[in-house]
């Protein structure tokens, strides 16, 4: 089962250079050593959420729990606080509705994430609509649903629908289309607290011959 630990923060003004050095040289290697594989770090282009989303993934919830309790993680987090503010985390588990999640992400990927709470009395209708109508509409519009995630620990709406696209211009155009707007309207009959956001790479994983490294994409 795929499990994610997402970190959210904003960079303290004037600390960009020191922050990036710490993230690349200390924080990413440190959390990776704890078994929290760093998938990518994202910058929020559009949407109401923290400036940065740092994405870790694991195949085991116990690995994340052990890492969060470790002295090394506590040390790294305290050092991180020198450079960032408004820090928070969320632990997410894959609902299993889709099996397309991968930690290997194309260089041109843009994320279109949606979040919501399912209305408890509409659970059956929600399940049927999402699988049979909403996800197919997203696919027709070029949005690959990489995963549907339930927030196990952390605030905010309880479900995150992670979408990936390769062309932001097409994404914007498709989000304005009648097809998407009609589908979203139907979705909102089954959910509440709907939000969406568009993210682009801040730090990207680069695969080398023998190992992966990370480089800053968007300062």
What pLDDT score was predicted for residue 200? Answer: 96
Kindly tell me if the per-residue pLDDT of 207 is higher than 80: no
157-172: average pLDDT? 96
| pLDDT tens per residue, range 2-24 | 899 999 999 999 999 999 999 99
Assigned CATH topology for domain 110-199: Alpha-Beta Plaits (3.30.70)
Tokens of 43: 């910058």
pLDDT band at 208 (very low <50, low <70, confident <90, very high): low
Q: Do domains 3-94+201-216 and 110-199 have the same CATH topology?
A: yes
What pLDDT score was predicted for residue 75? Answer: 97
Per-domain residue ranges for the chain? 3-94+201-216, 110-199
What pLDDT score was predicted for residue 211? Answer: 63
| pLDDT tens per residue, range 120-146 | 999 999 999 999 999 999 999 999 999
| pLDDT tens per residue, range 70-118 | 999 999 999 999 999 999 999 999 999 887 788 889 899 999 999 999 9
Lowest-pLDDT choice from 51-65, 179-193, 201-215: 201-215
CB within 8 A of 3, min separation 6: which ones? 57, 58, 59, 60, 61, 63, 64, 91, 92, 93, 94
pTM passes above 0.85: yes
Lowest-pLDDT choice from 23-32, 91-100, 149-158: 91-100
Give the CATH architecture of domain 3-94+201-216.
Answer: 2-Layer Sandwich (3.30)
pLDDT band at 37 (very low <50, low <70, confident <90, very high): very high
């Amino acid at each position: 089962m795929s499990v994610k630990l997402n970190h959210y923060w904003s960079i303290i003004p004037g600390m960009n250079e020191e922050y990036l050095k710490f993230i690349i040289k200390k924080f990413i290697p440190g959390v990776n050593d704890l078994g929290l594989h760093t998938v990518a770090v994202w910058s929020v282009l559009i949407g109401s959420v923290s400036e940065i989303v740092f994405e870790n993934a694991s195949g085991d919830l116990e690995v994340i729990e052990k890492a969060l309790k470790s002295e090394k993680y506590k040390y790294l987090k305290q050092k991180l606080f020198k450079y960032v503010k408004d820090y928070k985390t969320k632990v997410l588990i894959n609902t299993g509705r889709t099996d397309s999640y991968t930690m290997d992400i194309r260089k041109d990927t843009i994320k279109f994430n949606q979040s919501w709470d399912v209305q408890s009395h509409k659970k059956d209708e929600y399940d049927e609509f999402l699988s049979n109508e909403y996800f197919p509409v997203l696919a027709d519009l070029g949005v690959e649903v990489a995963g549907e995630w339930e927030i196990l620990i952390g605030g905010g709406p309880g479900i995150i629908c992670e979408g990936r696209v390769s062309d932001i211009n097409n994404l914007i155009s498709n989000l304005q289309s009648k097809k998407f707007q009609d589908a979203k309207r139907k979705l909102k009959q089954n959910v509440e607290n709907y939000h969406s956001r568009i993210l682009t790479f801040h730090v990207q994983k680069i695969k080398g011959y023998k190992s992966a490294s990370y480089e800053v994409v968007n300062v």
